[in-house]
Amino acid sequence: MTTDSIIFVTPTPGQVTEVESEEQTKFTDDERIIEIPPEDKQSPRKSKPTYPQNWQAYNAAKTNEDTYFKRLLRELLFVSIDEKPSKKPGRKGYSDQDKIFAMCIKIYYKGDLRKAEGILKELKNLKFIEKVPCFKSIDNFFNDETLTKILDNLILISALPLAQIEETGAIDSTGFSTSQFESWNTFKWGKHEGKERVWRKAHACTCCKTNAFLSIKVTEKNVGDAAMFNDVVGNYTKYFNMPDFVADKAYLSRDILKTIKKLGMNPYIPFKKNSIQAAKGAMIWSQMYAEFMTNREEFMQKYHRRSNIETSFHMLKMRFGNHCMTRTFHAQTNEIKIKTLCLNLCILIQEMFERQIVIDFNDCVNLCNNEESCVKL
């Protein structure tokens, strides 16, 4: 190498002071040499999958949702609830159908109780409701504990029209805030003074394709996820053609994996770092552990469908709010269940236009009429 091929420059921070070839350099006004960086030869990034949207069907669903919502709600209540004549003397009260209809209208339109009463007066003229309750009565409906089981059945029936297109189920929990505060003493011996906001924990089982809810249970904030698994899942999934079921590590136990397998589904729950393959009476544990260790990429690909339940919670809270307006535990339980029922009906309307599904609540009620999990009331 000769000195003619070497160029010496005044060093600057981060600058190479000796350049092998003049062809790889460029001169600037202050006669300093800047090295031209080589071309980036990194491997191209994988493009994210995109999902086309049928905007014509989407627009039609949204513009007609208000009308179809009230029609589907009225039909669902009519075929699902058998009203029994009251044996109590005195003035006739409100039917369960009218109670739930009024509660759903209040939640769907996201208004106050007085506004809901005004909307119900107009709906009475359209024969959607027999008797218009006053705003105070609507508030009392949320405190009616007898409606809780009815709402559980209505949530399941409203999801049954989607049974043929669902492939994966999921379970998880989320929180709803309230307006109440509890003293610090209730959970920390009274060494500190202050208040902690009360919130309710909703445990839900959902579908991963349409994001519809199969069931939802409301508990206090300190109830564990795994402890609620049997109550939330029950045997609701037997009405759906779901080969797979996904959950996060909070549900990782041999008993839960055995329960999912008994329901005819493959459990995709990621294992912890300290998990071992020993079956200990649960062969499905050993089988899924072997699949997790030998074919982890495919295992995790199926597991990540669990993110759809987070979408379901997002839809529920963005549409109807993440805050409970009622004040008692039973009222808050019914309020969250009413929100879930309203969301299921909105999803049904969307699928009517996008997938052309046929909704017949009579068939859905007949399907589960004689089952313990869903009894016609």
Domain assignment present for 89: no
Q: Are residues 356 and 306 in the same domain?
A: no
What pLDDT does residue 193 have? 54
Average pLDDT, the chain: 85
Q: Which of 364, 377, 375 is nearest to 82 (CA)?
A: 377
* Overall domain count for the chain: 3
Q: Are residues 231 and 350 in the same domain?
A: no
Q: Are residues 184 and 316 in the same domain?
A: yes
How many helices (DSSP H) and strands (DSSP E) are in the chain? 13, 11
Region 138-166: what's the mean pLDDT?
Answer: 94
Does pLDDT of 77 surpass 50?
A: yes
Pull the structure tokens for residue 330.
Answer: 């039973």
What pLDDT does residue 238 have? 85
Domain finish residue from 288, 308, 324:
324
CA distance 138 to 126: 20
What pLDDT does residue 5 have? 45
Q: Are strands 33-35 and 25-27 parallel, antiparallel or unpaired?
A: antiparallel
Q: Are residues 109 and 228 in the same domain?
A: no
Q: Are residues 156 and 10 in the same domain?
A: no
What pLDDT does residue 7 have? 45
With a CB cutoff of 8 Å and minimum separation 6, the contacts of 218 are 200, 201, 202, 203, 332, 333, 336, 337
Domain assignment present for 51: no
What pLDDT does residue 209 have? 93
Binned at pLDDT 50, 70 and 90, residue 183 comes out as low
Question: Three-class SS string for 152-182?
Answer: HHHHHHHHHHHCCCCCEEEEEEEEEEEEEEE
pLDDT over 70, % of the chain: 82
Does pLDDT of 111 surpass 60?
A: yes
Q: Are residues 262 and 136 in the same domain?
A: no
Domain assignment present for 61: yes
Binned at pLDDT 50, 70 and 90, residue 20 comes out as very low
What pLDDT does residue 143 have? 95
Give the range of the structural domain holding residue 175, as residue numbers without chain letter: 167-324
Domain assignment present for 47: no
Q: Are residues 237 and 353 in the same domain?
A: no
What pLDDT does residue 22 have? 45
What pLDDT does residue 370 have? 58
Q: Are residues 256 and 179 in the same domain?
A: yes
Task: Please give the model's pTM, rounded to 2 decimal places.
Answer: 0.82
What pLDDT does residue 203 have? 97
Are 211 and 329 spatial neighbours (Cβ–Cβ below 8 Å)? no
Beta strand ranges found along 9-54 (DSSP E): 18-19, 25-27, 33-35
